[in-house]
Structure 1
Amino acid sequence: MNNSPPDVHPKHGPESEKLDLKTKLAYGAGDLGPAITSGIGVFFLLVFFTNVAGIPAGLAGSILLIGKIWDAVNDPLVGVLTDKTQSRRWGRRLPWLLYGAIPFGIFFFLQWIVPRFSADPSAQMWGLFWYYVAIALISQVFYTVVNLPYTAMTPELTQDYDERTTLNGFRFAFSIGGSILSLILAQVIFSHIADRQQQYVVLAAICGVIAVLSLYWCIWGTRDRVMAFEAKRQLIEEPPSLPIGEQLKIVFSNKPFLYVIGIYLFSWLAVQVTASVIPYFVVNWMGLKESDVPTVILGFQGTALLMLFIWSALSRRFGKKVVYFMGMSLWIIAEIGVFTLQPGQITLMYALAVMAGFGVSTAYLIPWSMMPDVIELDELNTGQRREGIFYGFMVLLQKFGLAFGLFLVGMSLEASGFREAVPGQSTLPVQPESALLAIRFATSILPAFFLICGLVLAYFYPLTREVHAEILLKLKERGEGRVSRGGFR
């Protein structure tokens, strides 16, 4: 067999190779399931706990804290295991999606029911607390099982700098589209079903089915490309795997990786804190109906979806950092405007929601587009590809931050005198001025602070397009040298 060096890096494939539309759509569909379920959770789970299950805001925040911390802890474990998974038929990542999809949908549904444990209100409250904690722990395991291997597939599908941004554009089009679909479903269901508990049961059942089906679309649509990458990867004899302690040392000595973690953490703290509190802001401060909440959220999520491909095109022209600065600046202005909103200023509220959507789309697109570049820098330094451990620890640290942020929101609402609903009552309690101020602060000033922190880190992020091109060139030269010595096997 011919042992001469190929024209391209055998492991990376042709840098100019583009993904076909079928593969991009299938890959994007893989984020629809996690997005539609996490979107419902982010927007409504805290409200569900306080206004449907009747759990005090502090305890509700504690449930979210426990679930997120456990979710973060199991991320690196799953990441390392996916790196070590071997399957001739499915590769390293896809088996996790294949076997985890159905349990993922089932346990998502179970967190939206209100079981009856006792006639005593206190015993019932604590029974619900421990039930939701148990379901959170199990459901977060299956969320990680399907989502983390999925996110680690990006560098395996393409090694082109700009193509990755495009691929992530498709991913987050489905992601934001999933959030929008869940909001449309919520609006329809909330408008036609009066009982609050039944509203969420129906919504969770529909979203769970969609989530499972979309994951199987991803599996079958990306399998050929994933397996082609696996075949190329096996042509090169990689150095022996390092002990986990040594791997962690290398991961956290990768300076660009630490910047990406920080950028992603602060961006998503802003997204998720705003999303969790906005239902309270719309109903308790602006005086609108609960059925109006999905419409307001659609304002910024719909804009974020439309802007994804525009930001992707601008990123190819101006670079990722410039696009991130443009989007975040608009979002910060919108957040400041939200704090000044007064009841009755409905048109202005929607205008600010649209402006915030410009920034939300860059929070989706840019940090995830940076991650594959970081992984290739690590490959250049170590000779190994460890997508799983990098993505695992990125998500771990991000979720620790989010857990702490959401816990603080719940505790601050309770400390401000927020009044939870009594299960079964038809009207929500009137909130005191102190609780209204806390809601306004958490919807605007706190997210703006997080966004500014993200901008500072983005300013110092070192991997430009030129630096990344140099990394790929060195990897290509190294790969050609190895193949010329060892030939194809």
Structure 2
Amino acid sequence: MNNSDPDTYPQQTSESEKLDLKTKLAFGAGDLGPAITANISIFFLLVFFTNVAGIPAGLAGIILLIGKIWDAVNDPFVGVLTDKTKSRWGRRLPWLFYGAIPFGVFFFLQWIVPRFSSNASVNFWGVFWYYVAIGVISQVFYTVVNLPYTAMTPELTQDYDERTSLNSFRFAFSIGGSIVSLLLAKVIFENIADRQQQYLVLAAICGVISVLGLYWCVWGTRDRIMAFEGKRTQTEESAPIPIREQLKIVFSNRPFLFVIGIYLFSWLAVQVTASIIPYFAVNWMRLKESDVPTVLIGVQGTALLMLFVWSALSKRVGKKAVYFTGMSLWLIAQIGLFFLQPGQIGLMYVLAVMAGFGVSTAYLVPWSMMPDVIELDELQTGQRREGIFYGFMVLLQKFGLAFGLFVVGMALEASGFKEAVSGQSALPVQPDSALFAIRIATGPLPTIFLICGLVLTYFYPLTREMHAQVLLQLKERQNKVENRDF
């Protein structure tokens, strides 16, 4: 199957294979909800557990890890189920439509501090298991909406450079949504004194925005997706492959292994840095809690601006060169943060901007590589199986988040970090050992992950020329099928 055939989309030519602005905007809006909720969780959930709910840092990390272990089970299976879904709206859109509202509701429920008993010990463990249960359910609905969404990319266009442009819109909404949520957090933190109320209001607003963004995506892309599905169901004739055999094929796809490795290490660096920055800014740099969103906006704002620059540049020099350039600047920033001293606020913002250059490539490049890998798999197997590939991609994103937060939580616990007492306004003073652990998690640890990602990128085997050859062979195969049917 090859969607560059002019009959696939009557209003477009195989030479252009371009998407109109309306479709790109609608597709981008689909990542608004998952991005906002994921970023709020990255930046604030560990802090919320330790400084509002009064949960020790180690146990807080365990709560997050339990949810992601469940994701390791459900992500690939949801991916396979979306590949098998049959609907007049295609394979992906029904999942977004029906999953949007539960997704927003269970995200909000994560930010409640329940009270189960007047007995402190009983109440503590009740709160712990509440967050475990809500976290698991919340991650299920995150998978239900986000995995089918990410699998839509190769269904909207097969053009090598157009996919990079499409992902630019996606991550413009993703990072833009993150910036909006951080601006909301800053306004809310400055105007609401009670910490628990701060997070409840922030979660409620972000939950509503998330649901609306998903519905925008469904309605704005359905015509394009339905046209793709109509063509796919006419030309795809290969017999279904059992799930176990699909897993074997996925992990025998050598470029795919490189892409998930690049993405895993990039995302680990993002998650660890994002989760530790609130502690770094408040405990080491001695900023106010309301100043934390401003620091994060410095990173995310730069990443947003650079998305379209990197996208345009990748057409000239290629995805690998763009990744190397952005990551090199990010490495310098991470090393600089470790040596930063309290009071060097201006330099801190300069380093935050430098980090943003690299963060944007961590978003853009691995995701724009994925559709190319899927087409190679289609050439080898005769089937389009976006769901299972993106299932493992989303699994790694969540694993990166969970593992990063778990490592940070355990490191803080081991270093003697003092969690806040629930209901108390003043934060405890941290010992020197905890401050040093915060600095290690801010600088050297993400640096190691970034270097590993650079090594894998250097050896990534699927070039622009190879991808063009894959598309040519897919086109020849489709022509044979059409000529035989004729």
TM-score (norm 2): 0.97
For the residues of structure 2 that align with 1:109 and 1:14, how far apart are their CA atoms? 44
For 2:56, the equivalent position in structure 1 comes to 56
Q: Deviations over 1:286-339 (max 9, x none)?
A: 000000000000001000000000000000110000000000000000000000
Backbone CA RMSD of aligned residues: 1.4
Moved more, 396-405 or 61-70: 396-405
**Residue 240, structure 1, aligned to residue 239, structure 2:** yes
**Residue 331, structure 1, aligned to residue 330, structure 2:** yes
**Residue 300, structure 1, aligned to residue 299, structure 2:** yes
For the residues of structure 2 that align with 1:180 and 1:7, how far apart are their CA atoms? 36
For the residues of structure 1 that align with 2:459 and 2:98, how far apart are their CA atoms? 41
For 1:256, the equivalent position in structure 2 comes to 255
For 1:74, the equivalent position in structure 2 comes to 74
For 1:170, the equivalent position in structure 2 comes to 169
Deviation for aligned residue 1:11: 6.4
CA contact (8 A) 1:10 1:479 kept: no
CA contact (8 A) 2:182 2:296 kept: yes
CA contact (8 A) 1:9 1:479 kept: no
Across the two proteins, how many residue pairs are aligned to each other?
A: 482
For the residues of structure 2 that align with 1:44 and 1:345, how far apart are their CA atoms? 24
Letter in 1 for 2:143: T
Deviation for aligned residue 1:122: 2.1
Equivalent position SS for 2:235: coil
Letter in 2 for 1:299: G
Deviation for aligned residue 1:401: 4.3
For the residues of structure 1 that align with 2:134 and 2:289, how far apart are their CA atoms? 26
CA contact (8 A) 2:4 2:158 kept: no
Deviation for aligned residue 1:14: 2.1
For the residues of structure 2 that align with 1:426 and 1:113, how far apart are their CA atoms? 17
Deviation for aligned residue 1:270: 0.4
Q: Where in structure 2 are the equivalents of 1:30-49 lying within 5 Å?
A: 30-49=30-49
CA contact (8 A) 2:57 2:410 kept: yes
For 1:192, the equivalent position in structure 2 comes to 191
For 1:460, the equivalent position in structure 2 comes to 459
For the residues of structure 2 that align with 1:15 and 1:381, how far apart are their CA atoms? 25
Show structure 2 runs of 5+ residues with no match. Answer: none
For the residues of structure 1 that align with 2:15 and 2:151, how far apart are their CA atoms? 19
For 2:182, the equivalent position in structure 1 comes to 183
CA contact (8 A) 1:6 1:480 kept: no
For 2:272, the equivalent position in structure 1 comes to 273
For the residues of structure 2 that align with 1:460 and 1:328, how far apart are their CA atoms? 16
- 311 and 237 in structure 1: CA distance in 2 versus 1, 3 angstrom threshold: closer
TM-score (norm 1): 0.97
For 1:315, the equivalent position in structure 2 comes to 314
For 1:136, the equivalent position in structure 2 comes to 135
For 1:369, the equivalent position in structure 2 comes to 368
For the residues of structure 1 that align with 2:68 and 2:237, how far apart are their CA atoms? 35
Identity value in percent: 80
Show structure 1 runs of 5+ residues with no match. Answer: none
Letter in 1 for 2:21: L
Q: Where in structure 2 are the equivalents of 1:147-166 lying within 5 Å?
A: 147-166=146-165
Letter in 1 for 2:38: S
For the residues of structure 2 that align with 1:350 and 1:71, how far apart are their CA atoms? 35
Deviation for aligned residue 1:120: 2.5
Deviation for aligned residue 1:61: 0.3
CA contact (8 A) 1:261 1:398 kept: no
Q: Where in structure 2 are the equivalents of 1:434-449 lying within 5 Å?
A: 434-449=433-448
Letter in 1 for 2:479: E
For 1:347, the equivalent position in structure 2 comes to 346
Deviation for aligned residue 1:400: 3.1
For the residues of structure 2 that align with 1:233 and 1:54, how far apart are their CA atoms? 52
For the residues of structure 1 that align with 2:346 and 2:229, how far apart are their CA atoms? 52
Equivalent position SS for 1:423: coil
For the residues of structure 1 that align with 2:454 and 2:433, how far apart are their CA atoms? 31
Letter in 1 for 2:34: P
- 466 and 116 in structure 1: CA distance in 2 versus 1, 3 angstrom threshold: same
Q: Deviations over 1:167-190 (max 9, x none)?
A: 000000000001001000000000
CA contact (8 A) 2:3 2:157 kept: no
For the residues of structure 2 that align with 1:402 and 1:41, how far apart are their CA atoms? 9
Deviation for aligned residue 1:399: 3.0
- 62 and 168 in structure 1: CA distance in 2 versus 1, 3 angstrom threshold: same
